Amino acid sequence: MATIGDVARRAGVSKVTVSRVLNGAANVNAQTRERVEQAIRDLAYLPNLAARSLRSRQTQTIALVVPDITNVFWTTVARGVEDQAQKKGYSVLLGNTDENPEKQRSYLRAVMQQRVDGVIIAPYNRDSDTIRPLLDQKIATVLIDRKLDGLAIDSVRGDSVGGAYALVSHLIGLGCQRIAMIAGPRGASTAEERALGYCLALRQAGMQLDARWMRWGEYKAAWGEEAAAMLFAGEPKPDAIFAANNQIALGVWEYLLKRGVRVPQDVALVCFDEMADSARLFPFFTVAAQPAYAIGSAAADLLFARIQGGQDQPAQEIGMAGKLVLRASCGRLLKQAQADGALAWPGAEAEVRAIPPLNEEELKVLEACQRELAEIENV
Amino acid sequence: MATIGDVARRAGVSKVTVSRVLNGAANVNAQTRERVEQAIRDLAYLPNLAARSLRSRQTQTIALVVPDITNVFWTTVARGVEDQAQKKGYSVLLGNTDENPEKQRSYLRAVMQQRVDGVIIAPYNRDSDTIRPLLDQKIATVLIDRKLDGLAIDSVRGDSVGGAYALVSHLIGLGCQRIAMIAGPRGASTAEERALGYCLALRQAGMQLDARWMRWGEYKAAWGEEAAAMLFAGEPKPDAIFAANNQIALGVWEYLLKRGVRVPQDVALVCFDEMADSARLFPFFTVAAQPAYAIGSAAADLLFARIQGGQDQPAQEIGMAGKLVLRASCGRLLKQAQADGALAWPGAEAEVRAIPPLNEEELKVLEACQRELAEIENV
DNA sequence: TTGTAAGCGTTATCAT
DNA sequence: ATGATAACGCTTACAA
């Protein structure tokens, strides 16, 4: 494969001049540039990025570290990142952590060896030590979706508190009395914030937070199934379930299917995150949908700004509100669906609104809720 | 950041010795090795991959080039590739082409500059020129999902002919008379093979291939919607639609929803590829499901074998059969669903079987079908 | 506007 | 078992 030296020889110039043409430097004679470009075409020359990186200390590569690319939320985020990166001429290195500390560590090692210019990461918990190596090496880093404790660092997040609050308030408005929450992992900021939103909504409605209806676990379908089984083992049974993410909801659904429990006739089911193409296909889940693509591209933008801007400027934390998408899973819309006599009916997604921000009063109870939540352990 | 020289100095050895420890060479004294390892830990040393690549001509990185990571099929493939790569200590560079020649070209340029050790690619059409640059540079390449004309090259594919044949035969068995096919792009091998399977199944049943019921287009939802509109504009209307992939099916569904056409009462709808989590969630589509994860990990295995084995050994073409997953979208199972009186019912996915291979007689009509298909153009 | 020389951090080669 | 030296292909610094 041709090197810069080959091109230089063919064009009758020095390597430096070729390098200048390659990098679009202004101080190159037009004719010289033309000769060099011709030589580049003739030899089908492609610069060796390893050599370039070694010298320039830039790899034109960023890494995206997510829990599981198989989850729609993350694939959409990834698409947002990738599109933005492509525009800027960067490549994207992809890694799945499966919410596993060991995998995350090993993956971070790999990207540090690659000397990527920056990392976009959804850390598996809120312990800032897990990304310490990145900070130590001053690698530009953007947190996505989740927070880290006591670290001012660029980040892009959805509105977990607000989304959960809106979902649970909606259930309460429908008359649900025993609203269970199947939560994510303690330690993940989104999991804690969604629990908080749940708690706030109950308080706001004058309902008690009941430890029986609150289960901490993982963002995985298997946990949703297990937790649903626990919730339906005793009496009374819940009349609504709030799943902390889409994976959990899928597991719950699986359990309900097996047991012949009908949604929404027997129990309402709502969740955080959108449900793949099911938005179009299966309009039964009421969800708090996050703007995943926008979150991904915003994170990429932030990262590129940081890469160019350096460590000086202050950290930016971007919050992106989502939408509460009301569908048949809560009883109301189902009637309409049945009236239309088919599984296919128009307008099932009609009612869509932005998540309302918490008001001052709501914010006041926040601290109390946090205290309450802190005491709940799974039985 | 520490370099190999720093480590060498601290351990009191030469850089070469450190390099030997790093690469697990046998000829290093145990005590020396221990000292070096200690120094590595002390300095939190991480080798610079750019430098290593420059010298060793290996990047420990592979590229995965797919149409759209947002499509479940491809995210599952990606996951298969990534898991396998991680095991072997490779990183994965991800790129979306959107079935766009220009994007594919630009992406291939990028990975060649990166000097990746290998590429797994789903080429946007069957013209082998599109990946010529890879072959010219002798970059290990594995084709995934699609064929290229006249090129013996490692590849992993599902069974497009067999899957399409099984789907259409199923529709015929249900009594469908006017089975439309909304096909993918002419030029993509899977699109052509699925059309062939459609054609074979019709012939086998003594039905005529009718140009009105056959539309070439793209693997995109927008095309599904457009084609459905064309099909439903005239008379008679189709009583079944075979969508050539999941994206197309989503578009068709969108159209039917808007128009109030019910599935499966008014028209049957089946497609190639599984439907995201909808398999669990929305058991109405009968699909020919490909083993996407296995396809991805098989492709990665093949690639690593090629990277290590070199160009000598003959190309391997792996075919992976899928499953025909029967669901309610074809009328039969819907009755059972309705009898259960709910959207949630068990057993909707019960009937699952492997795609049967074509028999000799079927293979004989293949050529005739190909001729017929060649003459169909969209009206 | 162009060129010379040095150096990025590692591994290959050859020598001891 | 270990080391000295050169080389990978490029960009930076400086000079002309």
Mutate to test the interface with B, among A70, A119, A247, A284 (most CBs of B within 10 A): A70
- Work out whether the CA dihedral A128, A134, A140, A141 comes out positive or negative: negative
Mean pLDDT of chain A: 85
Residue B296: partners with Cβ closer than 8 Å, 6 or more residues away: B76, B77, B78, B79, B80, B81, B82, B84, B144
Distance from CA of A329 to the nearest CA of B (A): 11
Distance from CA of B46 to the nearest CA of A (A): 6
Q: What are phi and psi of B44, to 5 degrees?
A: 50, 45
Task: Decide if B157 contacts B148 (C-beta within 8 A).
Answer: no
* B19-35 burial code (b ≥16 CB/10 A, e <16): bbbbeeeeebeeebbeb
- The verdict on a CB contact (< 8 Å) between B257 and A276 is no
Residue B75: partners with Cβ closer than 8 Å, 6 or more residues away: A69, A70, A75, B69
Instruction: Give the integer Cα–Cα distance in Å for A193 and B46.
Output: 36
Whether residue B289 is predicted with pLDDT greater than 80 in this model: the reply is yes
Mutate to test the interface with B, among A91, A98, A132, A287 (most CBs of B within 10 A): A91
* Positions on chain D within 7 A of a protein C-beta: 1-13
- Work out whether the CA dihedral A3, B52, B24, A100 comes out positive or negative: negative
DSSP classification of residue A269: E
A window 43-82: Cβ near strand D (< 7 A): 45, 47-48, 51-52, 54-56
Q: SS3 string of B211-225?
A: HHHEECCCCCHHHHH
Mutate to test the interface with A, among B1, B41, B49 (most CBs of A within 10 A): B49
Distance from CA of A371 to the nearest CA of B (A): 36
Instruction: Give the integer Cα–Cα distance in Å for B299 and B32.
Output: 40
Mean pLDDT, to the nearest integer, of A306-329?
Answer: 80
Q: How far in angstroms lies nucleotide D7's C1' from the CA of residue A87?
A: 35
Q: What are phi and psi of B283, to 5 degrees?
A: -85, 55
Q: How far in angstroms lies nucleotide C7's C1' from the CA of residue B11?
A: 24
Tokens at A319, concatenated: 């919050």
Distance from CA of A263 to the nearest CA of B (A): 7
Nearest one of B215, B209, B239, B245 to B227, comparing CA atoms: B215
Tokens at A50, concatenated: 């390893």
Chain A residues with CB under 8 Å of B113 CB are 46-49
pLDDT score, position A77: 96
Q: How far in angstroms lies nucleotide D11's C1' from the CA of residue A89?
A: 19
Burial level of B106, CB count in 10 A (0-12/13-18/19+)?
middle
Distance from CA of A342 to the nearest CA of B (A): 6
Task: Decide if B219 contacts B244 (C-beta within 8 A).
Answer: yes
Sheet bearing B323-325, strands edge to edge: B214-215, B179-182, B240-243, B268-272, B286-289, B323-325, B352-354
B240 touches strand C (CB under 7 A): no
- The verdict on a CB contact (< 8 Å) between B61 and A114 is yes
HSE, CB side, 13 Å, CA atoms: give it for residue B30: 0
pLDDT digit string, tens, across residues A286-298: 888 888 999 999 9
In chain A, % of residues over pLDDT 90: 59
Closest nt to B55 (CA→C1')?
D8
B5 touches strand C (CB under 7 A): yes
pLDDT digit string, tens, across residues B174-232: 889 999 999 999 989 999 999 998 998 898 899 988 889 999 999 999 999 999 999 99
Distance from CA of A280 to the nearest CA of B (A): 7
* Positions on chain C within 7 A of a protein C-beta: 1-5, 7-13
The angle that helices B246-259 and B221-233 make with each other, rounded to 10 degrees, is 50
A4 touches strand D (CB under 7 A): yes
Chain A residues with CB under 8 Å of B84 CB are none
Q: Which long-range contacts (CB under 8 A, 24 or more apart) does A100-105 make?
A: A100/A124, A101/A125, A101/A130, A103/B86, A104/A65, A104/A130, A105/A130
Strand partners, A64: A94, A120
Mean pLDDT, to the nearest integer, of A369-378?
Answer: 65
- The verdict on a CB contact (< 8 Å) between B49 and A343 is no
Question: To which residue do tokens 């590229």 refer?
Answer: B63
Nearest one of B267, B265, B218 to B244, comparing CA atoms: B218
Q: Which long-range contacts (CB under 8 A, 24 or more apart) does B83-86 make?
A: B83/A96, B83/B297, B84/B296, B84/B297, B84/B300, B84/B301, B84/B304, B85/B300, B86/A95, B86/A103, B86/A106, B86/A107
pLDDT digit string, tens, across residues A67-90: 999 999 999 999 999 999 999 999
pLDDT score, position B62: 97
Instruction: Give the integer Cα–Cα distance in Å for A222 and A225.
Output: 5
pLDDT digit string, tens, across residues B107-132: 999 999 999 999 999 999 889 999 99
Instruction: Give the integer Cα–Cα distance in Å for A194 and A236.
Output: 24
Question: To which residue do tokens 């995985």 refer?
Answer: A220
A23 touches strand C (CB under 7 A): no
pLDDT score, position A337: 38
Instruction: Give the integer Cα–Cα distance in Å for B228 and B225.
Output: 5
Task: Decide if B248 contacts B164 (C-beta within 8 A).
Answer: no
Burial level of B224, CB count in 10 A (0-12/13-18/19+)?
buried
Q: Which long-range contacts (CB under 8 A, 24 or more apart) does B358-361 make?
A: B358/B161, B358/B162, B358/B165, B358/B200
pLDDT digit string, tens, across residues A25-71: 988 999 999 999 999 999 999 999 999 999 999 999 999 999 999 99
- Pairing of the two strands A140-144 and A155-158: parallel
Whether residue B281 is predicted with pLDDT greater than 70 in this model: the reply is no
DSSP classification of residue B375: T
Task: Decide if A194 contacts A184 (C-beta within 8 A).
Answer: yes
B window 118-177: Cβ near strand C (< 7 A): none
- Provide the Cα torsion A86, B69, B294, A61; round to 10°: 20
Task: Decide if B243 contacts B271 (C-beta within 8 A).
Answer: yes
Tokens at A348, concatenated: 């099932």
Whether residue B309 is predicted with pLDDT greater than 90 in this model: the reply is no
DSSP classification of residue A330: G
Between chain A and chain B, how many beta carbons pairs sit less than 8 Å apart?
Answer: 182
The angle that helices B360-374 and B189-204 make with each other, rounded to 10 degrees, is 120
pLDDT digit string, tens, across residues A138-150: 999 999 999 898 8
Task: Decide if A328 contacts A317 (C-beta within 8 A).
Answer: no
Residue B87: partners with Cβ closer than 8 Å, 6 or more residues away: none
pLDDT score, position B18: 96
Q: SS3 string of B86-143?
A: HHHCCEEEEEECCCCHHHHHHHHHHHHHCCCCEEEECCCCCCHHHHHHHHHCCCEEEE
Closest nt to B25 (CA→C1')?
D1
Of A322 and B249, the structure prediction assigns the larger pLDDT to B249
Tokens at A172, concatenated: 């309460």
- The verdict on a CB contact (< 8 Å) between A48 and B115 is yes
pLDDT digit string, tens, across residues B177-189: 999 999 999 989 9
- The verdict on a CB contact (< 8 Å) between A344 and B75 is no
Instruction: For residue B67, say if its preceding peptide bond is cis, omega within 30 degrees of 0.
Output: no
Q: Which of A138-147, A306-315, A329-338 shows the lowest mean pLDDT across its residues?
A: A329-338
Task: Decide if B178 contacts B238 (C-beta within 8 A).
Answer: yes
Mean pLDDT, to the nearest integer, of B274-279?
Answer: 74
- Pairing of the two strands B240-243 and B268-272: parallel
- The verdict on a CB contact (< 8 Å) between B262 and A344 is yes
A263 pLDDT band (50/70/90 cuts)?
confident
Task: Decide if B179 contacts B238 (C-beta within 8 A).
Answer: yes
pLDDT score, position B365: 61
DSSP classification of residue A230: H
- The verdict on a CB contact (< 8 Å) between B246 and A277 is yes
Q: Which of A98-112, A246-260, B265-279 shows the lowest mean pLDDT across its residues?
A: B265-279
Q: What are phi and psi of A350, to 5 degrees?
A: -55, -45
This prediction has a pTM of: 0.88
Question: To which residue do tokens 């979208």 refer?
Answer: B329
Task: Decide if B227 contacts B219 (C-beta within 8 A).
Answer: no
Q: What are phi and psi of A94, to 5 degrees?
A: -110, 140
- The CA distances from residue B159 to A261, B270, B322, B356, in Å, are 37, 16, 7, 10
Of B159 and B350, the structure prediction assigns the larger pLDDT to B159
Tokens at A24, concatenated: 């679009």
DSSP classification of residue B287: E
Q: Which DSSP string corresponds to A84-114?
A: HHHHHT-EEEEEE-TT-HHHHHHHHHHHHHT
